[in-house]
């Protein structure tokens, strides 16, 4: 029998929901990126927007990060979960109905009202928590629904069968549920410095307990699935997993070094940050060793995005460990260096991996359009934009830090930044916008089922039953 | 895979899962709950005996600050670092932020820290700056907020007034606490050997280099400033208010009260210009420029002098000089001083220092206008209805006679 896309389709994967969340992810991505680009331009043309409140820098800046984290990454993660959970657990997700509700809630009761409210001036001045409390309540409900949707399939089979991606999914969903209310509500109830201590925790937990675990779940899934070889070491994968969940939450206070928060808390966080760097090296080594044979820049588009994201993960984590140390923190804190760092994390690591997961899942939807050329363009544009932006902002940060330490009049640091802001706005942001638009084109044009074709031309398409064993712990390693 | 193995793995995972949750709980306890207890104890012990709660207006201003994301360009947290302290003042103590629900510490500084904003900028500066930042600070990238105004910077709506009230409350409690407050906090800290904590106590709560003050000692500047450098600096930093030619008609000028000085219609001594640069002009929007190196300040002095467009004025008949001296002694001396040095008996009580005529000489025309109309926004009242035309002319001449800069 000739293999068609249909015969290879994974049973039980609700491709409609993968697709819906994927499209929502791309749409919210483009909106969030637009907000980001406008604020980048406002730093060189500050009167852009002509003082209209809903176009003012602060409100757009709030919308930018909430959109990236919840809209783009949230939807992309859900899309990936609808693809991966059935394959990992051998069971369908809890309910398609629930899925429709989750989709509707996330996009029309979180993102839409969240943005409208922030832009009209109802928000929280808390980083990674800018949507107002009413929207936060919906987020928590939606996260609970996501837990009900995705977790039971894992438990039905028993913990000992869990592959590391499954652990990351469980960990990510459970810990986000714990951390989200802490970050969004506690600072409203606890004043000043104490509230800031909790905010610091959340700033790190948002990245460490929501974004990182789900991105790593994708990486651990896509690498073996695309190379069709089991992961290099299941032991290291689990070691990395547990260390990560132990260490990430302890990092938070490193956002407030030299502050009035008790020094022992600061030192705990600084130490945890250093150890976390070591853990990340373990995780990344394990992931990269698992790609052996696929090349430094793999041919398969999904894999290539993921692997590039993992490179960024390594760099950004080592950078993070270093900049938590007092001597470096002193030189770069509050500067654009940190903005470069967070883009290396959220764009370089999380978004590349999420895009890789999305492309990977898309390739395996029989009826989804897939335009390999556009995706190739997307990749290179994004790499170029990311590199330019991070290098640019890192240098900008060093320049600003030096001027501040030297006691120069403040405005000189603003004027000295202009060159770097021009490069970011006129250079990096167009490359990145082009890349994201190309990604949207890549996943909405081209022939239906074109994904399989692309896979065939790469490593060769394999039916899912051949991939699944690569995703089993213990047995998978043994077979 | 054998069953016992499965069970062992399951047990191990169960233990690890519990440990994972416990680690999260531990992180919250260690880095959230415990610091909170320490901070609250510290707050209770260190805060001054009588603290001022935020006014309703300041609270509304705070909400505007929060909603507009001011905190993503401005921090409100001075760290225990000498570089922070030199620029902004003493490190932020926990009790200073105890009314902040939620905190507004911030993690990025595109603009300067604002935790010691109180008294740093005059209200007219704040309004003009919020309405159109670049009309005041040419190189600023701060957004404009015209929606807080009724069409013009001198017509602030309630929102703008609340916001400025809020800005002016930042760091005020610490300043009001005064030396007694510092002593009390230092004692409560009970940390004589903790070098870092000791950094938080001192006498200069606010170290903002732009904060204007009256009568601060001015360090000696190099004698001859670099004129070209000074003119470039003047164009970047001063022309927004004083105008390109120094006529006091820059884009930001209209909204300020008093209006920026007309630098072209004055002769100044170097010392007067240096004084205005180092201390600012308290009671007006004229900031101080203490963050500029002495060479730059000397260059600015040269640049201001180069703006001088005054001409020699015709001398007065002798009998007029007498009238001038009489009118002056009767009406002006208590403020401007018997010697015209601005140190009259009433001077110290005024919101703004009376002009020291020994160090600056207005043109006759300017002098007459100041007399006739007063200077809006200052204690200098209009005299047009109280003095006759002769008297005005005479005393306007008279005050010019004090100038000690002579001929330079």
Within a domain: A471: no
User: For residue A34, what are the β-bridge partners?
Assistant: none
The domain that holds A212 is classified in CATH as 1.20.210.10
Chain A residues near residue B75 by CB distance under 8 angstroms: 334
CA-CA distance, B54 to B292, in Å (whole number)?
34
Alpha-carbon Rg for chain A, nearest whole angstrom, is 22
A199 with B105: Cβ contact below 8 A: yes
Rounded to a whole number of angstroms, the distance from the CA of B79 to the nearest CA of chain A is: 5
A159 with B14: Cβ contact below 8 A: yes
Chain B residues near residue A171 by CB distance under 8 angstroms: 20
Within a domain: A102: yes
Q: Does A192 touch chain B (CB under 8 A)?
A: yes
Q: Does B59 touch chain A (CB under 8 A)?
A: no
At residue A199, the pLDDT reads 87
Residues B81-102: what's their mean pLDDT?
90
Residues B328-353: what's their mean pLDDT?
94
Report the SS3 class of residue A33.
helix
Q: Does A63 touch chain B (CB under 8 A)?
A: no
Chain A residues near residue B70 by CB distance under 8 angstroms: 58
Within a domain: A315: yes
Segment B10-49, tens digit of pLDDT: 777 777 778 778 878 888 888 888 888 888 888 888 888 7
CA-CA distance, A406 to B19, in Å (whole number)?
47
CA-CA distance, A218 to A169, in Å (whole number)?
9
Report the SS3 class of residue B156.
strand
> Out of A32-41, B76-85, B129-138, B173-182, which region has the weakest mean confidence (pLDDT)?
B173-182
CA-CA distance, B333 to B331, in Å (whole number)?
6
Q: Which of A392, A374, A345 is nearest to A443 (CA)?
A: A374
At residue B339, the pLDDT reads 93
At residue B46, the pLDDT reads 85
Chain B residues near residue A249 by CB distance under 8 angstroms: 23-24, 26-28, 31
Rounded to a whole number of angstroms, the distance from the CA of B39 to the nearest CA of chain A is: 6
A334 with B75: Cβ contact below 8 A: yes
Domain count, chain A: 1
Segment B389-401, tens digit of pLDDT: 999 999 999 999 9
At residue A218, the pLDDT reads 96
Which of the residues in chain A have pLDDT under 50? 1-10, 474-479
CA-CA distance, B159 to B149, in Å (whole number)?
8
Interface of A with B in 245-284 (CB under 8 A): 245-246, 249-250, 252-253, 255-263, 265, 268-269
Within a domain: A2: no
CB-hemisphere CA count at 13 Å for A39?
21
Chain B residues near residue A47 by CB distance under 8 angstroms: 134, 144
Is the pLDDT confidence value at B76 over 70? yes
Taking a C-beta distance cutoff of 8 angstroms, is the pair A380, A297 a contact?
no
Chain A residues near residue B141 by CB distance under 8 angstroms: 42-44, 46, 414, 421
At residue B6, the pLDDT reads 67
Q: Which of B35, B102, B111 sits opposite A188 (nearest CB)?
A: B102
At residue A9, the pLDDT reads 45
Query: Which ipTM value was assigned to this complex?
Result: 0.91
Res. B3 pLDDT band, cuts 50 70 90? very low
At residue B188, the pLDDT reads 85
At residue A462, the pLDDT reads 57
CA-CA distance, B283 to B299, in Å (whole number)?
25
Q: What angle do CA A281, A284, A271 make, to 5 degrees?
A: 30
Query: Residue A403 sits in which domain range?
Result: 15-463
At residue B2, the pLDDT reads 40
Taking a C-beta distance cutoff of 8 angstroms, is the pair A269, A253 a contact?
yes
CA-CA distance, B351 to B333, in Å (whole number)?
17
Q: Which of A43, A252, A339 sits opposite B141 (nearest CB)?
A: A43
At residue B1, the pLDDT reads 39
Is the pLDDT confidence value at B85 over 70? yes
Res. B51 pLDDT band, cuts 50 70 90? confident
Is the pLDDT confidence value at B120 over 60? yes
Within a domain: A456: yes
For residue A103, whether the previous peptide bond is cis, meaning omega lies within 30 degrees of 0, is no
Q: How many CB pairs under 8 A join A and B?
A: 249
At residue B343, the pLDDT reads 93
At residue A469, the pLDDT reads 59
CA-CA distance, A135 to A112, in Å (whole number)?
10
Query: Please, what are the domains in chain B?
Result: 56-198 (1.10.760.10), 227-306 (1.10.760.10), 318-400 (1.10.760.10)
Of A209 and B70, the structure prediction assigns the larger pLDDT to B70
**Beta carbons within 8 Å of B152's beta carbon, 6+ residues apart:** B131, B255
Estimate to the nearest angstrom the gap between the alpha carbon of B150 and the chain centroid: 24
Interface of B with A in 85-144 (CB under 8 A): 86-87, 91-94, 96-105, 107-112, 133-134, 137, 139-144
Q: Which of A124, A91, A146, A205 is nearest to A468 (CA)?
A: A91
Within a domain: A6: no
A124 with B139: Cβ contact below 8 A: no
At residue B406, the pLDDT reads 60
Q: Which of A174, A193, A249 sits opposite B103 (nearest CB)?
A: A193
At residue A163, the pLDDT reads 86
Kind and range of the H or E element at B266? strand B266-268
Q: In terms of C-beta distances under 8 Å and separation of at least 24 residues, what long-range contacts does A272-277 make, across chains too?
A: A272/A247, A273/A320, A273/A321, A273/A324, A273/A325, A274/A321, A274/A324, A274/A325, A275/A243, A275/A247, A276/A243, A276/A244, A276/A247, A276/A248, A276/A251, A276/A317, A276/A320, A276/A321, A277/A317, A277/A318, A277/A320, A277/A321, A277/A322
Q: What angle do CA A361, A363, A364 make, to 5 degrees?
A: 65
Within a domain: A468: no
Within a domain: A123: yes
Taking a C-beta distance cutoff of 8 angstroms, is the pair A102, A146 a contact?
yes
Res. B407 pLDDT band, cuts 50 70 90? very low
At residue A461, the pLDDT reads 53
């Amino acid at each position: 029998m000739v293999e068609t896309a249909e015969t290879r389709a994974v049973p039980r994967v609700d491709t409609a929901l993968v697709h819906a969340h994927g499209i929502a992810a791309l749409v919210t991505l483009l909106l969030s990126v637009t907000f980001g680009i406008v604020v980048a331009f406002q730093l060189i043309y500050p009167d852009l927007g002509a003082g209209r409140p809903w176009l003012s820098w602060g409100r757009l800046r709030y919308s930018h990060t909430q959109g990236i984290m919840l809209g783009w990454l949230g939807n992309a993660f859900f899309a990936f979960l609808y693809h991966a959970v059935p394959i990992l657990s051998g069971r369908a997700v809890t309910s398609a109905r629930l899925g429709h509700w989750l989709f509707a809630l996330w996009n029309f009761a979180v993102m839409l009202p969240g943005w409208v409210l922030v832009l009209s001036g109802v928000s929280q001045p808390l980083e990674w928590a800018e949507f107002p409390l009413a929207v936060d309540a919906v987020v928590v409900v939606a996260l609970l629904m996501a837990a009900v949707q995705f977790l039971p399939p894992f438990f039905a089979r028993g913990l000992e069968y869990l592959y590391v991606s499954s652990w990351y999914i469980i960990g990510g969903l459970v810990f986000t549920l714990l951390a989200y209310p802490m970050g969004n509500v506690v600072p409203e109830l606890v004043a000043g410095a104490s509230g800031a201590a909790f905010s610091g925790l959340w700033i790190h937990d948002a990245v460490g307990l929501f974004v990182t675990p789900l991105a790593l779940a994708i990486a651990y899934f896509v690498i073996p699935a695309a190379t069709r070889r089991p992961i290099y070491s299941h032991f290291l994968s689990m070691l990395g997993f547990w260390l990560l969940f132990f260490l990430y939450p302890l990092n938070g206070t490193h956002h407030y070094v030299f502050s009035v928060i008790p020094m022992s808390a600061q030192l705990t966080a600084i130490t945890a940050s250093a150890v976390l760097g070591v853990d990340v090296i373990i995780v990344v080594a394990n992931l990269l060793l698992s790609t052996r044979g696929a090349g430094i820049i793999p041919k398969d588009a999904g894999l290539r995005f993921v692997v590039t994201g993992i490179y960024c993960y390594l760099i950004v984590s080592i950078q993070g460990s270093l900049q938590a140390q007092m001597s470096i923190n002193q030189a770069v804190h509050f500067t654009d260096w940190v903005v470069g760092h967070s883009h290396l994390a959220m764009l370089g690591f999380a978004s590349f991996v999420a895009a890789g997961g999305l492309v990977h899942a898309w390739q395996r939807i029989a009826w989804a359009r897939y335009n390999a050329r556009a995706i190739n363009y997307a990749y290179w544009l994004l790499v170029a934009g990311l590199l330019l932006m991070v290098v640019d902002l890192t240098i900008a940060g060093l320049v600003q830090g030096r001027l501040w330490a030297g006691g120069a009049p403040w405005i000189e640091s603003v004027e000295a930044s202009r060159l770097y802001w021009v490069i970011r706005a006129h250079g990096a942001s167009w490359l990145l916008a082009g890349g994201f638009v190309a990604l949207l084109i890549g996943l909405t044009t081209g022939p239906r089922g074109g994904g399989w074709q692309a896979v065939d031309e790469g490593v060769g398409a394999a039916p899912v039953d051949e991939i699944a064993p690569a995703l089993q712990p213990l047995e998978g390693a043994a077979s | 895979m054998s069953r016992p193995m499965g069970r062992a793995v399951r047990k191990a995972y169960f233990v690890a899962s519990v440990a994972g949750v416990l680690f999260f709980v531990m992180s919250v306890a260690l880095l959230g709950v415990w610091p909170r207890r320490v901070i609250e104890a510290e707050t209770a012990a260190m805060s001054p005996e009588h603290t001022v709660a935020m006014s309703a207006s300041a609270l509304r201003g705070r909400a505007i600050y929060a909603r507009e994301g001011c905190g993503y360009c401005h921090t409100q947290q001075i760290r225990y670092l000498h570089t922070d302290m030199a620029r902004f003042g003493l490190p932020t103590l926990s009790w200073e932020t105890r009314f902040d629900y939620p905190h507004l510490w911030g993690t990025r500084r595109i603009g300067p820290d604002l935790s010691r904003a109180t008294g740093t900028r005059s209200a007219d500066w704040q309004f003009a700056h919020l309405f159109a930042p670049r009309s005041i600070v040419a190189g600023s990238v701060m957004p404009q907020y015209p929606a807080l105004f009724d069409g013009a910077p001198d017509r602030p709506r309630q929102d703008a007034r609340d916001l400025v009230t809020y800005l002016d409350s930042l760091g005020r409690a610490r300043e009001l606490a005064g030396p007694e407050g510092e002593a009390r906090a230092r004692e409560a800290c009970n940390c004589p050997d903790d070098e870092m904590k000791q950094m938080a106590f001192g006498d200069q709560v606010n170290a903002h280099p732009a904060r204007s003050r009256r009568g601060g000692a001015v360090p000696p500047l190099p004698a001859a400033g670099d004129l070209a450098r000074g003119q470039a600096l003047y164009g970047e930093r001063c022309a927004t208010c004083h105008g390109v030619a120094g006529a006091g008609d820059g884009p930001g000028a209209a909204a300020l009260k008093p209006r920026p000085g007309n630098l072209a219609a004055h002769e100044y001594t170097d010392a007067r210009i240096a004084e205005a640069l180092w201390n600012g002009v308290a009671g007006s929007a004229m900031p101080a420029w203490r963050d500029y190196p002495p060479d730059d300040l000397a260059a600015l002095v040269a640049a201001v002098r180069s703006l001088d467009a005054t001409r020699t004025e015709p001398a007065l008949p002798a009998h007029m000089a007498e009238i001038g001296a009489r009118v002056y002694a009767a009406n002006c001396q208590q403020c401007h001083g018997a010697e015209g040095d601005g140190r009259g008996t009433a001077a110290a009580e005024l919101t703004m220092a009376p002009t020291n005529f020994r160090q600056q000489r207005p043109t006759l025309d300017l002098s007459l206008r100041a007399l006739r109309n007063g200077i809006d926004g200052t204690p200098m009242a209009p005299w047009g209805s109280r003095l006759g035309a002769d008297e005005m002319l005479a005393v306007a001449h008279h005050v010019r006679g004090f100038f000690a800069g002579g001929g330079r």
